[in-house]
A and B are shown apart, each in its own frame.
Chain A
Amino acid sequence: MRPLTNEETKLVLTKLKKYIGQNVRTLLERSDGLYCLRLHNNRVYYVKEEIMKFAVSLPRENLVSLGVCFGKITKGGKFMLRITALDFLHPYCQNKIWVKSSSEDSFLYGNHVYKSGLSRISDNTAKYTGAIIFSSKDIPLGFGVTGKSTPECRLADPMNIICFNQADVGEYIRNEEGLI
């Protein structure tokens, strides 16, 4: 476990900025205590300071996880957000996509969001930015990258992809062992 380097921090924050914009500051500066980003086993964790200090005393190989895993830095040097970060993304997100109750299941099995399953989309959503996907009852289901901007959505065919699936809560069952 170690703090991120400047390059790694930039990588992680750039990705987060795509989803929650300037609200990244809120994650970094919190009123309820000090939080920090830590790297362990190539995974980036968002940890409260006290918990991090407890974890320091553990040997590296015995430490499985700490705080909340935000994602993983791949060997190719990319940062991939994990579904576990959803709880911290959805309150601050700027672009929201609501899916119809009929296509909720399809999304939760890891499929993209098609125009046919789209119920609502927030205004001014740009193309190829991060968006959080909600169910019709406003429960966050996952997040993805938009394939169409809001005006383009109106004209899109039913089978056009509106949002590319990046992570969904179905992973908690599908990919249980991969989440740690």
Chain B
Amino acid sequence: MEESAVDKVRDILLKAQEEVKAVQVENKEIQLECDLGNLVVTDNNTLVQDTLRNSDECGEYLRSLARDSIQTLITKVWDLPTERIDNAVYVTLPKPSISIPREKKVPVEKPLTKWEQYAKDKGITKRKKEKKVWDEVLKQWVPRYGFRKVQADKEKNWVRVVPENADPYEDQYAKVAEMKKENVAKNEFQRLRNIARNSKVKLPSVGVTGNEFARPKDLLRAAQHAKHATASLGKFQPGLKGEKPSKGRGNKRKSEGSTMDIQQEKKRNIDIFDKIGKPDLNLDAAMHRQVKDDNVEHDRKKKGGKKHLRRSKMGGRHLTRSDHRSIKLGKGIHNNGPKGKGRDAGPGSKGKGKDRASLLQLASKRGATGKIIMKANKRKKFSKR
């Protein structure tokens, strides 16, 4: 009897020991890290390489590692406060500590339309409107838009008033339909413009907007473009009364970098300084003008007579004999070289133009250089600006 009792006790003890062993995990060098929120356990201990290489023991070894880890996790989960609902045990897991990267990229916020942006800036919030409104004429609830709206509209507007100052033969229904079409088109245009704006497509600034919806700014820009679109780039285009000179046309000046060649900058600054207070003279232009004037004068005297040159009806200056000759010879300006006809007209006569040196020489021969400066001072025409 006694022996059997002792055996029983031993059995029970052994069983209890095994039970304890089943949930026990031996201590490791580095504690296991548990993330209960994600139900993840991490074992940072180094693996025993010899056992891993040994194909007989490897499987068993890994299984034991996995078992230890899982056991630790489960123990920790059981340590959390539990509650029992309908005979099932529930545990509320804490927040996960490991942040898992998302699979897809973060969604981009939809770009705002121009109106949405404006409303946001102004703090305008959208008011909810009822889908149906009470119609006083029809004495019934009518949809604000969409299904059965058109039908209701037809019933309501079976007759249309012709405004007093309108053309009596004008079709008022067609007019309303037209207005509606325009409105739809405008909406579509704005929708496309929003898309273009948000996808950063460059839109032509002029010529797209209809006059109906154009803002004053757009109209002004269009007018400026139109004015500028002449052969002389709008230089001789008459201005309107009180019209302001157009701004913002032309290319933007590109600034040099801050660290451009300082020596060069210094030289430029000194050049600018030297020019301060001196007339801005374009010597070449003045020279040509003077030589031409002299030639004309010379010709006129030779012809013997007219004080004023006749201007042709086409607008240009009357061509003098010298001009005709120079055209024939294929030259620009008449020169007063050695007398005689034909191709040997004078020094430097070959070719269409003349170099500046020969022009200067020519001018000085006639004592014209002194005059040039005087004239240039008198006439602003020569100045570069």
User: Which residues of A are interface residues toward B (Cβ below 8 A)?
Assistant: 1-3, 5-6, 9-10, 13-14, 17, 24-25, 28-29, 34, 36-38, 49, 52-53, 56
Contacts and interface: CB of A to CB of B under 8 A. Distances in A.
B88 interface: no
Contacts of B255: 2-3, 5
A49 B262 contact: yes
Interface in B8-28: none
A13 B263 contact: no
Given A2-B255, A3-B265, A10 B260 contact: no
Interface residues of B, number: 18
B266 interface: yes
8 contacts: A2-B255, A3-B256, A3-B265, A9-B268, A9-B269, A13-B273, A13-B276, A28-B273
Contacts of A10: 272, 275-276
B262 A37 contact: no
B58 to A, nearest CB: 60
Given A6-B272, A10-B275, A13-B269, 12 more contacts: A2-B255, A2-B258, A3-B255, A3-B260, A3-B265, A5-B253, A9-B269, A9-B272, A17-B276, A24-B273, A28-B270, A36-B265
Nearest to B273: A13
A36 B273 contact: no
A29 B258 CA distance: 19
A53 B259 contact: yes
Pairs A-B, 7 closest by C-beta atoms: A2-B255, A34-B262, A13-B273, A9-B272, A56-B258, A49-B262, A28-B269
A54 to B, nearest CB: 11
Interface string B324-357: 0000000000000000000000000000000000
A1 B269 contact: no
Nearest to B276: A14
Interface in B267-306: 268-270, 272-273, 275-277
B234 to A, nearest CB: 23
A175 B256 CA distance: 33
Residue of B260, B262, B268, B270 contacting most chain A CB atoms (<10 Å): B262
Nearest to B253: A5
Contacts of A49: 262
Interface string B231-262: 00000000000000000000001011011101
B262 A25 contact: no
Residue of B256, B258, B263, B268 contacting most chain A CB atoms (<10 Å): B258
Contact of B259 (A13, A24, A29, A56): A56
Given A2-B255, A3-B256, A5-B253, A25 B270 contact: yes
Contacts of A6: 268, 272
A1 B253 CA distance: 15
Given A3-B265, A34-B263, A36-B265, A13 B258 contact: no
B276 A36 contact: no
B277 to A, nearest CB: 8
A5 to B, nearest CB: 7
A29 B266 contact: yes
B262 A36 contact: yes
A126 to B, nearest CB: 14
A2 B277 CA distance: 26
B265 A13 contact: no
B266 A28 contact: yes
Residue of B256, B265, B273 contacting most chain A CB atoms (<10 Å): B273
B275 to A, nearest CB: 8
Contacts of B258: 1-3, 38, 52, 56
Contacts of B266: 28-29, 34, 36
Contacts of A56: 258-259
B284 to A, nearest CB: 21
Contacts of B256: 2-3
Nearest to A49: B262
A153 to B, nearest CB: 25
Contacts of B270: 25, 28-29
A137 to B, nearest CB: 33
A159 B349 CA distance: 72
Nearest to A14: B276
Contacts of B269: 9, 13, 28, 37
Contacts of B262: 34, 36, 49
Contacts of B275: 10
